[in-house]
Amino acid sequence: MSSSSTPPQIDLLVLDDVKDSILETLKSHFIVHIYKDEESLKPIASKIRAVATTGGMGMMRPDLMASLPNLEIISVNGVGTDRINLEEAAKRNIAITIATNVSTNDVADTAMMLLLNLKRHFRFNEDYLYEGKWSREGYPPLAHSLEKCRLGVVGFGHIGQAIARRATASEMEVAYYNRRPRSETSYKYIPDLIELASWSDILVLAVPGCAETDKMIDASILKALGPQGVLINIARGSVVDEEALIKALENGTIAGAGLDVFCNEPHINPAFLKLKNVTLQPHQGSATEETRQNLGQNMIDNLLAHFSGKKLLTPLT
C-alpha cells in the first residue's frame, strides 16, 4: 500500500511491543505514542484516533477504551480479541481488525510440535542423551506413533483446518467440533464436545478465547478423553479449566498435555512446572521472524486503509 495515500498528523497509541522494523514503519505514517501508564496518557488521550495492540494485550483495562473519546480503529497484531470490549466498540462504531490467516501455519506447526514432543519423548530423550545415559543404560524407553491415532480438533477455522491437514499427512484420523459443520471440508463433524473427546486419542484446542469458550474443557471433557488421551492447547488459556487439568494430569485421568497458552500469562500456575507428563511453551505459536513481520505489516496496512478511506483488509467479522 502506498504511503502517499496516508493523511498526516494522525495520533496512534501502541499498547504492546512490536518488532523494531514495524515500529519504524508506524512512525513513518503516524504520530506514535508508546503507552506507559495512565497518567502519561491523559494529556494526549483526546488526540488518539488509532490503537495498535496485540491479541494478548488487547485494551488491557476495561476503562482504557473509554479514556480515548476520538478512537476510530483498533488494529490487532494477532487474532485474539478476548481482551477487547467488542460490545462497546460496536456501540461507538470503532473498527477492529485482526490478522486473519496470517499466523495459521506457524500456530498449526506449534500444535504438531507439542504433540510430537509428547508422543515421541523428544525432550526426555534429549536430556537422556546429554546426561550420558545412552552409553551407560542403553536406549531410552520406547515412545508412541502418531499413525492411526484419532485426533479431534475443537474449533475448525483456518488454524483448526491447518492442524487437520498436518495430522492427515501423519496418517491420523481426524474429526472436529465446531459451532456448525464446515461445508468446505470432508473431515468428520462431531457436534457434541464430550462425544468428540471420547472418540479422540488427542484433543487439540483451536478456538478463540471468549465467554462462549471459557473453561469449555472441564473435568467432564478430560474424563471423556481418558487415561491414554493427550490435550494440546494453542488457543487461549481461558479455554481450559486449569485446576481440573492439573488434577487430571496428576491423577492419570489423561496421559499428558502440550500447552502453549495459560491463564494469567506470563505468571503461570507453578503446579505445571512440577508435572512430568507435560510439554510447555511460553506462548510461542506465532513467534517466528517471518510471521511477526507479516502480522505487523497486516496491522499497518489495515490502519493505512482506514485513514485513506479504503476497505479494511482483515476486519473482525
CA–CA dist 305, 313 (Å, integer): 8
Q: Is 289 a catalytic residue?
A: no
User: What is the DSSP pairing of strand 73-76 with strand 256-259?
Assistant: unpaired
Q: Is 29 a catalytic residue?
A: no
Q: Is 236 a catalytic residue?
A: yes
From the candidates 236, 242, 292, 306, which is the catalytic residue? 236
From the candidates 83, 283, 292, 306, which is the catalytic residue? 283
Picking from 62, 3, 47, 85, the residue whose alpha carbon sits closest to that of residue 74 is 85
From the candidates 38, 137, 171, 265, which is the catalytic residue? 265
Residue that the C-alpha cell 479431534 belongs to = 152
Point out the residues that are catalytic. 236, 265, 283
